[in-house]
Chains A and B, each alone.
Chain A
Amino acid sequence: AQRVTQPEKLLSVFKGAPVELKCNYSYSGSPELFWYVQYSRQRLQLLLRHISRESIKGFTADLNKGETSFHLKKPFAQEEDSAMYYCALISYNTDKLIFGTGTRLQVFP
């Protein structure tokens, strides 16, 4: 079965601390994985995708096939990073996005 698991509902850190938002997946083959972000009172938007291997707003995510993980990391959290983060993959049989349950990141000053 294809599944995205985000084990943490809430992650709270202080400004300047490192952040790691966990995402594990279940998938047969090579998945296409993404991180979406939803800031307060804003719409959901794509943050980054694993195929582009990019860093957006200081965030990076590396696909680890051995651990079936795609954790989102940032070395120094900022208050403006506070948001809801969703990990997602594209289903190989429906070709549609499957989202995780989301993790709310709170960055305190």
Chain B
Amino acid sequence: NAGVTQTPKFQVLKTGQSMTLQCAQDMNHNSMYWYRQDPGMGLRLIYYSASEGTTDKGEVPNGYNVSRLNKREFSLRLESAAPSQTSVYFCAGGQTQETQYFGPGTRLLVL
């Protein structure tokens, strides 16, 4: 029972490159979330998915797309990475807002 897992752990991109951050949960949660964590900004919600097949924008969705293909997996895609997207990305899953279980995070550096 791994909980919430994220891959990769670290990634360096050049401006304009694309990549997909993967998230998977084995806790049978309906809801999944993607956050970014920046110094002095706290955690900000990028996108969330209340159930399989549905996604909605959070506070800072610009520059990102998401995909919830099944209940376990929720991926975050950067189509054309920008330096402003340098951050630590956290995926979370939960049945309720307060019981979110967070993944270990992905550190992304965009040069």
Contact = CB atoms under 8 A, between A and B. Distances in A.
Does B associate with A? yes
Interface of A: 4, 6, 9, 32, 34, 42-46, 49, 86, 90, 95-97, 99-102
A97 B100 CA distance: 10
Contacts of A32: 97-98
Contact of B43 (A42, A46, A49, A86): A86
Contact of A34 (B33, B42, B98, B102): B98
User: Which of under 10, 10 to 19, 20 to 34, or 35 or more describes the interface residues of B?
Assistant: 20 to 34
Interface of B: 4, 33, 40-45, 48, 58, 90, 92, 97-105
Given A6-B42, A43-B102, A95-B97, 15 more contacts: A9-B40, A43-B90, A44-B92, A44-B102, A45-B101, A46-B99, A49-B98, A90-B98, A96-B45, A96-B48, A97-B43, A97-B97, A99-B42, A99-B44, A101-B40
Contacts of B99: 46
Contact of B103 (A9, A43, A90, A99): A43
Contact of B41 (A42, A95, A101): A101
22 contacts: A9-B40, A32-B98, A34-B98, A43-B4, A43-B90, A43-B102, A43-B105, A44-B90, A44-B102, A46-B98, A46-B99, A49-B98, A86-B42, A90-B97, A95-B97, A96-B33, A97-B43, A97-B97, A97-B98, A97-B100, A100-B42, A102-B42
